């Protein structure tokens, strides 16, 4: 069989989690919490199953869940999506991203990808026959920022889509209103679409605001917004999320969605909808994770790692160049095998070999897990 993705192997997350488990390392690599979700959420899903909500739901997701998402976006960001025609429930953000790319990108279309970028973007673009055009984020004392002049210069008549991700995996950077204004200027008077990955929407620190594209109508009118319940409710294994997009885009999205997964499992949809009616824990999520970020950063303050800013997400990047000149993959492997703490090499988020001496840790962990990892990292 001729491979459609010849350059793709097994994802770094799978590889590092397997190594962490083999070496009995503290796994700060793959991004997922090591604590459970709210028992009330499990109860709500189990109630749905017990009451017989176990057959196919509507193709686009159950109405009550779509409605509550639309209401939440309106309340938080001001944009009024029609829950009937503009919100679709997906099997996690990964499927939302793939489906959005499959419906928007035609063979030969160019898609601007800002690197480092989440690892699913480029394979999805290639499967659609698109051509990724890369712009690298700039790293300075302020952390990683997007050079919008370079994004602007990368636009051609073939540009179909610009992908953005804020809060950003792996760098933890957060786009500001100034960034959004720069992007708006670039796409104004073009037919370029935006794919905005907002899975970490409820994890922003130090009083920053998550500049959802849905706060900016001029962008929202041409955007697919992708989010994930896995991140917001500590249930990454449930693989459920949603895509919000104007009706004309959602029509095309749904055409692909119905033959991609058709629909997403029923009891989890009902459980989340019932839970969201009674609780809004996402309002406290930033404070919850900011405390963990601060604990983790304080624990590395006197180590030989240099901390980069982390303004959002549950990731902390560190520069290890004072410790080692190894490649990021070799360093992360050594850290996992010899020190007993797994990390993710940032080079895994670039399409071409690139070394910056930086690895990513995930701090979505119980305090005792973080303390255990910190004790080990401070022996280096
Ligand atoms: N986008 C980003 C930036 C992510 O970090 C992740 C998950 N780690 C996803 C998308 C995929 O989310 P899901 O697990 O809901 O498919
Ligand atoms: N998004 C998670 C991360 O960045 C991992 C998801 C996955 O394992 N594919 O760590």
Tell me the pLDDT tens digit for each residue of 296-320.
999 999 999 999 999 999 999 999 9
Residue 148 in contact with ligand 2 by CB distance below 6 A = no
- Nearest ligand (C-alpha, residue 118): 1
Q: Which residues contact 370 (CB under 8 A, 6 or more apart)?
A: 292, 295, 296, 299, 363
Mean pLDDT of 95-120: 98
State pTM to two decimals: 0.98
Mean pLDDT of 8-32: 95
Residue 232 in contact with ligand 1 by CB distance below 6 A = no
DSSP bridge partners of 89: 242
Is the confidence at residue 128, as pLDDT, over 90? yes
Residue 321 in contact with ligand 2 by CB distance below 6 A = no
Q: What percent of the chain has pLDDT over 90?
A: 97
CA-231 nearest atom, ligand 1: 15
Mean pLDDT of 244-272: 98
Cβ count within 10 A of residue 188: 11
Q: Structure tokens of 130?
A: 């698109």
* Ligand 2 centroid – CA 180 distance (Å): 25
**Phi, psi (deg, nearest 5) at residue 256:** -80, -40
CA-13 nearest atom, ligand 2: 8
**In this structure, are residues 344 and 335 in contact, taking their beta carbons and an 8 Å threshold?**
no
Q: Which residues contact 232 (CB under 8 A, 6 or more apart)?
A: 201, 202, 282, 285
CATH class entry, domain 12-37+283-377:
alpha beta
Using DSSP, state whether 163 is helix, strand or coil.
strand
Q: What is the CATH number of domain 39-281?
A: 3.40.640.10
H runs (alpha helix) in the chain: 12-22, 39-50, 63-77, 92-104, 121-127, 148-154, 177-187, 217-220, 229-232, 247-260, 266-278, 285-300, 328-334, 367-377
Mean pLDDT of 248-260: 98
Output the average pLDDT for the chain: 97
Mean pLDDT of 344-369: 96
Is the confidence at residue 353, as pLDDT, over 90? no
Quick one: pLDDT band at residue 124, thresholds 50, 70, 90? very high
Quick one: pLDDT band at residue 190, thresholds 50, 70, 90? very high
Measured CA to CA, the distance from residue 87 to residue 74 in angstroms comes to: 12
- Nearest ligand (C-alpha, residue 16): 2
Residue 235 in contact with ligand 1 by CB distance below 6 A = no
Residue 31 in contact with ligand 1 by CB distance below 6 A = yes
Measured CA to CA, the distance from residue 129 to residue 115 in angstroms comes to: 20
Using DSSP, state whether 380 is helix, strand or coil.
coil
pLDDT in tens, 54-103: 999 999 999 999 999 999 999 999 999 999 999 999 999 999 999 999 99
- Nearest ligand (C-alpha, residue 93): 1
Within the chain, all domains assigned CATH 3.90.1150.10 are found at 12-37+283-377
Quick one: pLDDT band at residue 279, thresholds 50, 70, 90? confident
Cβ count within 10 A of residue 221: 14
Within the chain, all domains assigned CATH 3.40.640.10 are found at 39-281
- Whether residue 167 has a cis bond before it, omega within 30° of 0: yes
Residue 173 in contact with ligand 1 by CB distance below 6 A = no
End-to-end CA distance of the chain: 46
Closest residue by Cα to residue 161 from 95, 100, 78: 100
Report pLDDT for 109. Answer: 98
* Ligand 1 centroid – CA 170 distance (Å): 11
Q: Which of 18, 20, 96, 236 to mutate to test the pocket of ligand 2 (most atoms within 8 A of CB)?
A: 236
Measured CA to CA, the distance from residue 232 to residue 35 in angstroms comes to: 13
- Whether residue 147 has a cis bond before it, omega within 30° of 0: no
* Ligand 1 centroid – CA 108 distance (Å): 26
* Ligand 2 centroid – CA 44 distance (Å): 26
CA-14 nearest atom, ligand 2: 8
* Ligand 1 centroid – CA 303 distance (Å): 30
Q: Structure tokens of 198?
A: 């907002």
Residue 169 in contact with ligand 2 by CB distance below 6 A = yes
């Amino acid at each position: 069989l001729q491979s459609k993705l010849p350059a793709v192997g097994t994802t770094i997350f799978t590889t590092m989690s397997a190594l962490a488990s083999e070496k009995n390392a503290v796994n700060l690599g793959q991004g997922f919490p090591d604590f459970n979700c709210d028992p009330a959420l499990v109860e709500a899903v189990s109630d749905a199953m017990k009451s017989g909500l176990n057959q196919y739901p509507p193709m686009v997701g159950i109405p009550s869940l779509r409605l509550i998402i639309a209401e939440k976006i309106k309340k938080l960001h001001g944009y009024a999506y029609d829950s009937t025609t503009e919100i679709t429930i997906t099997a996690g953000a990964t499927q939302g991203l793939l489906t959005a790319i499959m419906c928007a990108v035609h063979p030969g279309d160019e898609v601007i990808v800002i690197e480092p970028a989440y690892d699913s973007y480029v394979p999805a673009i290639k499967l659609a026959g698109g051509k990724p055009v890369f712009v690298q984020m700039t790293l300075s004392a302020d952390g990683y920022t997007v050079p919008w002049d370079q994004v602007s210069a990368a636009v051609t008549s073939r540009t179909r889509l610009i992908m953005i991700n804020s809060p950003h995996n792996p760098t933890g950077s957060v786009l500001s209103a100034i960034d959004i204004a720069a992007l708006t200027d670039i796409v104004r008077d073009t037919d370029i679409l935006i794919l905005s990955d907002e899975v970490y929407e409820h994890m922003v620190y130090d009083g920053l605001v998550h500049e959802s594209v849905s706060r900016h109508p001029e962008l929202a009118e041409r955007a697919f917004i992708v989010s994930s319940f896995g991140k917001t409710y500590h249930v990454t294994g449930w693989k459920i999320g949603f895509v919000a997009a104007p009706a004309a885009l959602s029509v095309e999205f749904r055409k692909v969605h119905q033959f991609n997964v058709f629909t997403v499992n029923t009891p989890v949809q009902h459980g989340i909808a019932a839970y969201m009616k009674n609780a809004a824990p996402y309002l406290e999520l930033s404070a919850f994770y900011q405390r963990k970020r601060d604990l983790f950063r304080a624990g590395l303050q006197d180590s030989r790692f240099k901390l980069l800013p982390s303004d959002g997400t549950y990731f902390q990047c560190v520069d290890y160049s004072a410790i080692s000149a190894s490649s990021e993959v070799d360093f992360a492997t050594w850290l996992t095998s010899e020190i007993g703490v797994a990390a993710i090499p940032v080079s895994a988020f670039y399409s071409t070999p690139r070394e910056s001496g930086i690895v990513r840790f995930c701090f979505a962990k119980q305090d005792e897990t973080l303390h255990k990892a910190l004790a080990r990292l401070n022996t280096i």
